[in-house]
Amino acid sequence: MSTTTTFSDEVKARLEVDAKEIIGRYPQSRSALLPLLHLVQAEEGYVSAAGIAFCAEQLGLTKAEVTAVATFYTMYKRRPVGDYHVGVCTNTLCAVMGGDEIFETLKEHLEVGNNEATEDGRVSLEHVECNAACDFAPVVMVNWEFFDNQTPESAKELVDDLRLGNDVRPTRGPDSLCTFKQASRLLAGFADDRATEGPQAAGPSLVGLELARERGWAAPDPDDLPPAPVLDEGEGETK
């Protein structure tokens, strides 16, 4: 963990170019604060004192103002996470479907607690709240990519592969994982070129559509609408 409170001149010069671009997207500069925090997290793997000082300087804010924001949001980390940050959903639905068992298994297997990284710095573990993939429960995220329908065994295999440097493929995501720092850069608004990789939709996302196709169901034909129901204007009734 860096103990200096400012970035080196080289880092600063490089990030200033990015910061200028980010600030330019917004009608008012302060709107750039969240992406700038993602940007400094992309540099160091967490939001350090130097990162906070950088954001403050770019936006003309005090370090206290930036710190107040950085500490409000769960995704900004105050200590370095692993290259691969593993989030296990333990909100009610995933927990009931097996997320609790997956989280316990991974804590034991990796010998880490919540929000801790393995000694080699490869993998960190956190329990996360609902990640909007409930129809794929139980869900595990790695660097904010979806690993759907997990079991304790599949999750163990996943983190073993991450530690060994083997390729792993998200179930609904690009062909391989980027690192936590690279993920943070994307969140700062700098796109990589992987948007077209991976499936458009999978499994549960398609069950309704497939059933509709099978049964010949569709939304009404706009050129052949059923007659509108005649409202019963019963005698003597007033609104």
Partner 1 sequence: MTTDAQPATALTPVLSRNWDRPDSFTLQSYRETGGYEALRTALNTDPDSLVNMVKSSGLRGRGGAGFPTGMKWSFLPADNPKPRYLVVNADESEPGTCKDIPLMLANPHVLLEGIVISAYAIRSSQAFIYVRGEVLHVIRRLKHAVAEAYDAGLLGRDILGSGFDLDVVVHAGAGAYICGEETALLDSLEGYRGQPRLKPPFPAVSGLYASPTVVNNVESIASVPSIVANGVEWFTAMGTEKSAGFGFFSLSGHVARPGQYEAPLGVTLRELLDMAGGVRAGHELKFWTPGGSSTPILTDEHLDTPLDFESVGSAGSMLGTRALQIFDDTTCVVRAVGRWIAFYAHESCGKCTPCREGNFWMVQVLDRLEKGEGTEDELDKLLDICDNLLGRAFCALGDGAASPVMSSIQHFRQEYIDHVEQGGCPFDHRKSTVWGADS
Q: Which of residues 111-150 bind partner 1 (CB under 8 A)?
A: 128-138, 141, 143-146, 149
- Work out the angle between the directed axes of helices 49-59 and 63-70 (0-180°, nearest 10): 120
When binding is defined by CB under 8 A, the residue of 215, 230, 233, 239 that contacts partner 1 is 215
How far is Cα 22 from Cα 31, in angstroms, rounded to an integer?
Answer: 9
- For residue 189, the SS3 value is coil
Does 234 bind partner 1 (CB under 8 A)? Our answer is no
* Residue in the structure block whose two tokens are 């927990």: 95
> What's the min distance (Å) between Cβ of 233 and partner 1?
14
Q: Residues 147, 158: contact at Cβ < 8 Å?
A: yes
DSSP per residue, 149-217: S--HHHHHHHHHHHHHT-----SBS-SSPPPHHHHHHHHTT---S-TTSS-S--GGGGHHHHHHHHHT-
Considering only residues 80 through 99, tell me which ones interact with partner 1, judged by CB under 8 A: 87, 90-93, 95-98
Task: Determine if residue 94 is labeled as part of a ligand binding site.
Answer: yes
Q: Residues 39, 15: contact at Cβ < 8 Å?
A: yes
Task: Determine if residue 55 is labeled as part of a ligand binding site.
Answer: no
13 vs 206, beta carbon nearer partner 1: 206
13 vs 73, beta carbon nearer partner 1: 73
Does 69 bind partner 1 (CB under 8 A)? Our answer is yes
Point out which span in 1-9, 10-18, 111-119, 218-226 binds partner 1 (CB under 8 A).
218-226
When binding is defined by CB under 8 A, the residue of 4, 5, 26, 121 that contacts partner 1 is 26
Does 73 bind partner 1 (CB under 8 A)? Our answer is yes
121 vs 199, beta carbon nearer partner 1: 199
Q: Residues 183, 144: contact at Cβ < 8 Å?
A: yes
How far is Cα 137 from Cα 89, in angstroms, rounded to an integer?
Answer: 9
* Residue in the structure block whose two tokens are 């499936």: 199
Q: What is the identity of the amino acid at 35?
A: P
User: Judged by CB under 8 A, how many residues of this single chain contact partner 1?
Assistant: 87
Considering only residues 3 through 22, tell me which ones interact with partner 1, judged by CB under 8 A: none
4 vs 62, beta carbon nearer partner 1: 62
Per-residue contact track with partner 1, 175 to 194, x per CB under 8 A?
--------x--xxxx-xx-x
Q: Where are any strands of DSSP class E within the chain? A: 84-89, 116-117, 123-128, 140-142, 145-147
> What's the min distance (Å) between Cβ of 96 and partner 1?
5
Does 27 bind partner 1 (CB under 8 A)? Our answer is yes
Binding region:
89, 94, 130, 134
